[in-house]
A and B are shown apart, each in its own frame.
Chain A
């Protein structure tokens, strides 16, 4: 323990070295004169001291590291993101992470696209199944021998959708399925008389001389 140097105190060989260089004698150069034997010995001692491995003082090293760590401000929160040396990583791990992110993105993209394709298919199917709704047209038309419904759903063709006479009364009935949405229609009696539905809202006169009726399929009850 006695030969273990105290780091707080100057190195014994260092003081010797300082003493060698702080000699009161003026500096001399080898070109001027040959070094004295005494000086050569001192130099040899200094060199030997530097060649000697210094004994490690582990507690001192730990204290020094602790001081350095305490002196450096801790980067927390947003400072961590701005720090130039926030983390270190081996290139192989960076490359592996990059490949993993790429693979994950490709997998998510493929899954998202597939889900949308499925949505389109299911929407198409549902619209095929539920794109229409049943509608019943009823008209009381005394004296008429032929009644049909014309509208935007049958190209306003008076021969396309005839109504059925209901028994012995004056009622004419038609059950059809119509696409959802707003439809304009009218009744045609005996092929020539156009008549709007008295139980339905009226549409504007479409500049052909006569109102049509409006039906909103699946829009609201009562229409």
Chain B
């Protein structure tokens, strides 16, 4: 009986803590943005909270708009876009996605990456964290690589077993190639093909894609 009462008390405390968080967020928004904009943004934040989406990025987006000097409509619009992108990112990545994945996926969608690329990325790395692949994908698009070419490059590398570190090195090489005058789309494709050729996992994946079995590794004689 005492334990049941304890559980009920814990639930009540958690509920009141959530209500306290909402009130605290609302107070912060109104203090920074003014009562009117604060209320509008607060309503969007409440909707996101009810939908189970991360709310901190929405508040941060509103504060960013205020710091960049955006007007009231621009701030509310920016928060609305962020919220919609998070919702779409979760839909594409799956309901069990981590909050960081949703934030990174939303950024990629806002950059122009199609939603089905996020879903393909999830299939390419099932069970793995997608934050770095999504960050790399968003970065490539933001640097001028067409969204389709960037998606193909990152999904191909991820499917071939590229680790987060490998993806970051691929990103740096594409960045360097573009800075040296290479066409963004061509550079992205060249870099990923070269990585597939160079990396052991990439070789195996390439051979499997051609329908051949990978060559067994020869053991050195003792």
Contacts and interface: CB of A to CB of B under 8 A. Distances in A.
Interface of A: 113, 150-152, 155-158, 181-182, 184, 194, 201-212, 214, 216, 219-223
Given A151-B60, A194-B68, 19 more contacts: A152-B56, A152-B60, A155-B28, A156-B63, A156-B68, A157-B67, A184-B57, A201-B135, A204-B110, A204-B111, A205-B142, A207-B78, A207-B110, A208-B70, A208-B74, A208-B78, A211-B142, A216-B100, A223-B132
B139 A214 contact: yes
Q: Helix, strand, loop or mixed for chain A's interface?
A: loop
Interface of B: 3, 28, 32, 56-57, 60-61, 63-68, 70, 74, 77-78, 81-82, 99-100, 103-104, 107-112, 129, 131-132, 135-136, 138-139, 141-143, 164-165, 168-169, 171
Contact of A202 (B60, B143, B164, B168): B143
A216 to B, nearest CB: 6
A220 B100 CA distance: 13
B165 A221 contact: yes
30 contacts: A150-B67, A151-B60, A152-B56, A152-B64, A155-B28, A155-B60, A156-B64, A156-B66, A156-B67, A157-B63, A182-B100, A182-B103, A182-B104, A182-B131, A184-B57, A194-B68, A202-B142, A203-B107, A203-B138, A204-B107, A205-B110, A205-B111, A206-B61, A206-B110, A207-B78, A214-B107, A214-B135, A219-B164, A220-B168, A223-B168
